[in-house]
Structure formats: structure tokens, C-alpha cells
Amino acid sequence: MNHFSSVLVLILITATASHAILPAKVYWNRMLPNSPMPNAILDLLSSDGLVDEKTGTAVNVGKGGVGVNVNGKGNTHVGVAKGGVTVNTGKPGGSGTNVNVGHGGVGVNVKGKGDTRVGVGKGGVGVSTGHKGKPVVVVVGPHSPFLYKYAATETQIHDDPNVALFFLEKDLSPGAKLNLRFTKTTSGSPFISRSKANTIPFSSNKLPEILTRFQVEPSSVEAEAMKNTLAECEEPAVRGESKLCATSLESMVEFSMLSLGTRDVQAISTKVSESRGTAAEKQQSYSVAPSGAQAMAGEKLVACHAQPYAYAVFYCHATSKSKAYKVPLVGKDGTKVEAVAVCHLDTAAWNPKHLAFQVLKVKPGTVPVCHFLPQDHVVWSVRK
């Protein structure tokens, strides 16, 4: 650690000690007075992330293109894009169920009162709203396409709508057209404070204890999601990256500052600024606005990807050879999105069978690989 980094660590430790018991918004404003809080973070401060059996649950997920809408007793709709799963229980009590299945096979069990389970084979989609008062979890497995050491599964290649999020840098020119959808990859479990997170085990070998603590059934979809998150967090970073699974807002902020070497940072996320209902969650043709993409400062970024867990967890990784853009997009139906895109300039250390290479038909280390971010992911950079 160089002298500058040591000084920054000391500053952050001092700041953290003085802000230890502050509410999240106050902490943010004191640590990042010049950086507005992006919606991807703000939404996790106000959300309770729990299932309400009286009012129902709404979940829209990017990873695998799952939409879940539980409006009350048995009125459940679940959909997966591009040949995936559609479940519609239009009558109270779960009668009148329709199931359409694409790749991988499906199992559906609708008991009414929000107790809905959907499972898809071959590492596909699992949906569960069966645990009273517990977070809804939607899993598209086995690994996130934004973690670059993993090969894509056959299910991801055929059914994962995130396929459309990958593109080449040349495709960012004004007027360029891309088929996209902008969703959220988790159910929005809320942040907990760092002091609370530090009292809760976060380790695969403590999984039974963790499941018991959060009253999660070991054989449930939620348990599998939490198991995968822990495993991914424990994997070593790929060459040229540093990583942290942030279990609190405070740890995310401070990892980003340390990685970028300054407190003068900014955080951004994809923002749907104008949309007709849930239009942004449906795949459609988008055009890059005439103003074109706006590059963010520097070639070192921290990307934080929302992970399915009982509370908010972000897989954050810092890359030194990458660029981020704000990209104004207009959908065919008029939906306006200020999308965040990241272009990785060095992909030589990625898994050669990663989803991006199979979709774009390029090889590791040959050209920059870019992707848009779902609405609930965050990119950090040095402020201009």
C-alpha cells in the first residue's frame, strides 16, 4: 500500500468512526456531498424487501427476465422472456393456471395466498413467495453474466434476456439501434447497517446458521440463491481486478473510494426517466439519442452488481482498464432511458466461454466488450 492509499485509509477510518451511527442518507451526504444518490441505492433504503400477503408482491427481474406479480389470493403472474416460463393464475385460490415452458423444463405449484413456487431446470429460473414475511427471491442460475470467470450455460445463451445487454463499443454511435430491456435483477432486499451486518455470518460454511436465522427453508429457491451468492463472493477475483461483496452501504462506499484512490467519487445507475407503466421491462428496439453517449472520467471503475440475498448484498469489483458511459436511449414506444454502459478494454482473463463472447462472436482480449447495466446495479467513478 503506497503512502497516498495509507492516508486515504486513515481518513476513511476517521470518517467512518464519526459517522458510525448515522442514518444511511445522512452518512451518504457527509461522505459524498457532491454525488447524488442513484435510484439503485435509494430504492433499497425505503424498501422493506418483504412479502406482504395482504397486498401482494411485485418483482421484476433482469437476470433471466422474470416478472412476478402477486396481487392477492392466488392472483399470480410469472413470466420469463424468450421461450422461458409463463404462469398465470387468474382466479382466487390458484385455479385456472396456465403454464408455458421453453428450455429446461418447469415445475409449478400454486397454493393461493401468495404461496407460489416456480422452478426451471438446467440452471434456469426459480421463483418463490412462500415464506411468510420473508424476501421474495428470483434466481436465474447458476451465475450472473456480470461475473466474468464463469462460462455461460445453455439456458443463459437461449433464454437470458441479459444476452441483449452485451454489445461492441462501435454500437454506441448516435442513431444506433439495439434491442434491450431494463429490469431489476433482485427482489430489492433492503440495506442493513454495517454494525448489524458485522454481527451476521457471511460464509458458505455458516449457511445452515444463516438460513435458520432468516427462517429460510434449506430446500427452497431462496436458500439456493443465498448459497450461490456466498460461493461467488468467496471466489478469487480475476486477474487485474479487486473485489468485495458489500453487505452494507458503508462498505460499498468505502471500497469504491479506496479502489479509486479518492473521496471525490460519483455513483450512477441506469434510470428510466419516462416510461409507460413497465414498458422499460419489456424488450424492444431502442435508439441512441442524437446527443450520443457521454464518457465518464477515468479508465478505472468500480461496478457493483446486486445479488440475491436476505438483505442487500452487492458484488463490487474494481477494474483498471474500462470505460463507463451515460447513454441516452429512446424506445420504439417512447420510453426514455438514461442507461449506464461499461466497456471492458482488457478481457484476456475472462472465461473464454463467457456469455459475452458467445453472443458477440469475439475472442477474449481481442476487442473491448461492453454491456448495459440493469436498473439496480451501480457504477462508481472519479468525478470530473
Per residue in 199-219, pLDDT tens?
A: 999 999 999 999 999 999 999
Q: Which of 31-35, 72-76, 313-317, 327-331 has the lowest mean pLDDT?
A: 72-76
Please report, for residues 45, 267, 375, the alpha-carbon distance to residue 42 in angstroms, rounded to integers and kept in the order given.
5, 12, 12
Res 72: pLDDT: 40
Res 157: pLDDT: 61
Res 257: pLDDT: 97
Which pLDDT band, with edges at 50, 70 and 90, does 149 fall under? low
More confident residue, 50 or 153: 153
Is the per-residue pLDDT at 339 higher than 90? yes
Is the per-residue pLDDT at 374 higher than 80? yes
Please report, for residues 9, 87, 97, 127, 210, the alpha-carbon distance to residue 319 in angstroms, rounded to integers and kept in the order given.
19, 40, 46, 32, 31
Which pLDDT band, with edges at 50, 70 and 90, does 187 fall under? confident
Mean pLDDT score across all residues of the chain: 74
**Looking at the 3D structure of the chain, how many domains does it have?**
1
Determine the average pLDDT of the residues in 307-327.
93
More confident residue, 123 or 2: 2
In a domain, 186, yes or no: yes
Res 66: pLDDT: 35
In a domain, 270, yes or no: yes
Is the per-residue pLDDT at 181 higher than 60? yes
Res 357: pLDDT: 85
Res 158: pLDDT: 56
Is the per-residue pLDDT at 102 higher than 70? no
Is the per-residue pLDDT at 232 higher than 60? yes
Is the per-residue pLDDT at 359 higher than 80? yes
Determine the average pLDDT of the residues in 295-300.
87
Measured from the Cβ of residue 54, the count of other Cβ atoms closer than 10 Å reads 8
Determine the average pLDDT of the residues in 289-295.
94
Res 137: pLDDT: 43
Res 337: pLDDT: 94
Please state, in angstroms and rounded to a whole number, the distance separating the CA atoms of residues 8 and 14: 10
| Greatest mean pLDDT among 50-54, 100-104, 144-148, 174-178 | 174-178
The torsion of the CA quartet 159, 165, 171, 175, rounded to 10 degrees, works out to 100
Which pLDDT band, with edges at 50, 70 and 90, does 356 fall under? confident
In a domain, 323, yes or no: yes
Asked if residues 227 and 142 have their Cβ atoms less than 8 Å apart, the reply is: no
Burial-class residue 320 by CB neighbours within 10 Å (0-12, 13-18, 19+).
middle
Res 165: pLDDT: 82
In a domain, 197, yes or no: yes
Res 244: pLDDT: 97
Q: How far is CA 147 from the centre of its chain?
A: 11
Of the chain, the percentage scoring pLDDT greater than 90 comes to 42
What is the Rg, in whole angstroms, of the alpha carbon atoms belonging to the chain?
A: 20
In a domain, 292, yes or no: yes
In a domain, 244, yes or no: yes
Sign of CA dihedral 371, 374, 378, 383: positive
Nearest to 84 by CA among 130, 136, 129, 121: 121
Determine the average pLDDT of the residues in 61-80.
38
Res 242: pLDDT: 93
Sign of CA dihedral 171, 173, 175, 180: positive
3-class SS of residue 93: helix
Determine the average pLDDT of the residues in 58-80.
38
| Burial readout 23-41 (b: 16 or more C-beta within 10 A, e: otherwise) | ebeebbeebbeebebbbbb
Determine the average pLDDT of the residues in 333-362.
88
In a domain, 89, yes or no: no
More confident residue, 106 or 22: 22
Res 155: pLDDT: 65
User: pTM score, two decimals?
Assistant: 0.72
**Which structural domain range is residue 317 located in?**
3-48+143-382
* Cell numbers describing residue 117: 413456487
In a domain, 116, yes or no: no
Is the per-residue pLDDT at 226 higher than 50? yes
Tens digits of residue pLDDT in 255-284: 999 999 999 999 999 998 865 556 567 788
Max Cα-Cα span within the chain: 67
Determine the average pLDDT of the residues in 163-177.
87
